[in-house]
Amino acid sequence: MAAIPRGGLVAVTGAAGFVGGWVVRQLLDKGYRVRACVRDPDDLTRTGFLRAMGGFASGRLTLHAADLDEPGCYDAVFRGCHGVAHLSHLSDYNDQDRIHRVCQHIINSINNSGSVTRVVLTSSIAAVISEMDMQELVRRPVLYEDRYPDQSNPRRTPERGQGYSMGKLVAEQAFTDAAAASGRWDSITCCPGDNVGPILSAHQQAMGPWQKLIAGMLQGDCPQTGVYRPWMTVDVRDDAACHIALLENLAVRNGERYIAWSTDARNVEDINTDI
């Protein structure tokens, strides 16, 4: 399928988020027009930083309310767009049926747009290595795009804390299959590591969880994630740039995955010491 044209119109879901905000900003910096999808455009605590971007005053950036659980929520937003960067995520990934429903809502809006040719879907490094089974990473330490968590592991269930990566893989497959069936658009997946870097809005301090963990370290705490594992960091600005490059690239193909990772794996103790 065709990459988005220079200066084209891109919809960004999860635009008020840590990564989403940077995607919006960098798209504007490159001359694109952006439709930023948020829960409540009038919540200035979360959208004030978007309104402060230069593109908002000129009309190149517009804000749109969207509820992932509502069928057709993106119909009007996606209509006329060339690309969609789907960064929005659910608060709970344990309900696999809900994940399927939400994916279908978004896919239907893409199909109904009549214009979208490229979708970049945000997945996660967890969909490459698993978020809970670190022994699997010991057994298979090489990370590459065609690597997936061990699906035969009997402990691979939402109840065992693996709902997040399972949900991400459900979304990857749903979008890839829908794009192939459509024939008009393609879906490329970005699998970021642990995003670190500057926030664009104060409300993003509570998001992450990496911002919260770093804040704890600065206060003398030594917090840890659900399982002991190294941080696989990526600068949030590089992650955003990767999303945009996948929107623009002519060589990528439907269903391909790209890992956004600095290739640094750092133990939490070392990060604490440096901070």
pLDDT for the residue 243: 99
Report whether pLDDT(174) > 60: yes
The order of strands in the sheet holding 257-260 is 61-65, 33-38, 9-13, 83-86, 118-122, 186-192, 257-260
Report whether pLDDT(27) > 80: yes
Q: How confident is the model at residue 223 (pLDDT cuts 50, 70, 90)?
A: low
CA separation for the pair 214, 216 (Å, rounded): 5
Arithmetic mean of pLDDT, 58-75 = 95
Which of 4-13, 77-86, 146-155 is predicted least confidently? Answer: 146-155
pLDDT for the residue 1: 63
Report whether pLDDT(20) > 90: yes
Which of 152, 151, 269, 259 has its CA nearest to residue 217? 269
pLDDT for the residue 210: 75
Which of 58-62, 132-136, 223-227 is predicted least confidently? Answer: 223-227
**Domains, the chain, ordered by start:** 9-197+232-264 (3.40.50.720)
Between 4 and 154, the more confident residue is 4
pLDDT for the residue 24: 99
